[in-house]
Structure 1
Amino acid sequence: MGSMLESLRTIFKPLTKKAIALVSLMTRPMTLGVRTMVFDEQGRIFLVRHSYVPGWYLPGGGVDAGETLAQAAVRELREEGNIHANGPLELFGVYLNAGHSRRNHVALYIVRDWNQPGPPKMPGLEIVEVGFFDTTALPETTTAATRRRIAEVLDDAPRNEIW
C-alpha cells in the first residue's frame, strides 16, 4: 500500500504543482506596470492623456511576459511619445497601486538621457494627446498620483509607497 501511494504521489506531483500554480494565478494574480518621468531642457515634464481614462499621466503601461521593468519603460516611452532612452534608466521607486488592484505594482523610472527623433503619432488608439508641461503649471486634470510622484522627485516630498 505504501509503495502504491508513493507511486501515485510521483505521478501526480507535477500535475499538483501545475494545478496549484494555476489556482494561485486565478485567485491571486499580480500585475506589474511602469511609469517614467522625462524632463526636457527647460525642466518641463512629459505627460500623456489616454483615450480610455480621464486625466494626464506619466507615460507607461504594463510589463509584458519575458520583459524586464526597464525594457517595458523604454518600450512604453517609444510607443507613447516617440522618446528614445539613450542611457540607463534610474529606478526611483516601486509602488502599490491599490486604487487599481491590491496586487498591482508600479515601478517609477527617471529618464535623464533621451532624444525624440520626431513627434509622436497623435492621436492614436491609446494616447490622444501628449506634451511637455511646466511642473508649476500642470494641466488641471493631471492625476493626483502623478502630482505626488512629481513632488517626490522634484520637491523631495516624503515618499508614499501607495501610488
Structure 2
Amino acid sequence: MPKPPRPRAHLSTQILTRLALVTRPMTLGVRALVVDDQTRVLLVRHTYVPGYFLPGGGVEGGETMEAAMRRELVEETNVEAEGPLTLHGIYLNRAASKRDHVALYVTRDFRQIGPHVPDREIAEAGFFSIDALPATTTLGTRARIAEVLTGAAMSAYW
C-alpha cells in the first residue's frame, strides 16, 4: 500500500526556513518532554505545520539552551518547569537542514500556570497518554518519547 503524501509546509514557513539558513547557517533549537504523574506527555499542535510535536523552539542569541526551553514552555503551553531540566540528548535534524540541531530536555517537575489559549502559533497544547498519542504525532516526537519512556535505542538524528 503506498504511503499517503506528506503535507507540504506553508510557503511562508519554507521561505522563513530558507531565510534563516542564509542569515543563520547553523541553527539550534530546544524541545521538552514534559511527563506528568500519570506518564502522559505534553504535546503541541502548531497552526502553520501539521502534526503534534514536543513543545519548543529556537535558542536566541545570548540565551542558554535551558533558558530558551523554559521560555518556550511558558510561551507555548503555560507550563513552567520547576527545578532543573535534564538534558537527554542533542540531535541533528536533517529534515530541517544539514546544520539544524535540537536539544531535548526532560522534566517531571512542573506546574501549569494557566490554561493554554490558542493563538497564532499554537492551536492546541495538552497531555496525552503514550498509549494513545494523536495519529498525527510526528515520527521524531514518537522516537524521543520511546527513548525516554520505554528505553528505545537513542538516535543521533531527530
Deviations 1:104-151 (A, max 9, x none): 000000012110121122x10100011100001100000000000001
Question: What is the one-letter code of the residue matched to 1:61?
Answer: G
1:91 corresponds, among 87, 94, 103, to: 87
Structure 1 residue 157 corresponds to structure 2 residue 130: no
Residue 31 (structure 1) shift: 0.2
Is the Cα contact below 8 Å between 2:85 and 2:106 reproduced in 1? Answer: yes
Cα distance in 2, alignment partners of residues 90 and 100 from structure 1: 24
Using the size of structure 2 for normalisation, the TM-score is 0.84
Residue deviations 1:65-114, cap 9 Å, x none?
A: 10000000000000011111110100000000001000000000001211
User: Which residue number in structure 1 is paired with residue 141 of structure 2?
Assistant: 146
Is the CA contact (8 Å cut-off) linking 2:37 and 2:108 kept in structure 1?
no
Which of 25, 30, 36 is the equivalent residue of 1:34?
30
Q: Which runs of 4+ in 1 moved over 3 A?
A: 25-28
User: Which one has a bigger Cα radius of gyration?
Assistant: 1
> 1:128: which partner in 2?
123
Deviation for aligned residue 1:40? 1.4
Say if 1:32 and 1:63, in contact at 8 Å, map to a contact too: yes
In 2: Cα distance, 1:44 partner to 1:157 partner = 17
Structure 1: unaligned runs, 5 residues or longer = 1-24
Contact conserved, 1:31 with 1:103, CA < 8 A, in 2? yes
Paired residue total: 138
Q: Please list, as runs of the form range in 1=range in 2, the aligned pairs for 1:8-157 lying within 5 A after superposition.
A: 26=22, 29-121=25-117, 123-157=118-152
Gaps (5+ residues) in structure 2?
Answer: 1-20
Tell me which amino acid in the other structure corresponds to 2:107.
V
Compute the TM-score of the two structures, normalised by the length of structure 1.
0.82
For 1:80 and 1:55, how far apart are their aligned partners in 2?
15
Amino acid at match of 1:39: V
Question: Which has the larger share of helix?
Answer: 1
Equivalent AA in structure 1 for residue 31 of structure 2 = R
Post-superposition Cα deviations, 1:25-61, rounded to whole Å, max 9, x if no partner, equal: 9598100000001111211100000011100000000
In structure 2, how many angstroms separate the alpha carbons of the residues matched to 1:80 and 1:92?
Answer: 21
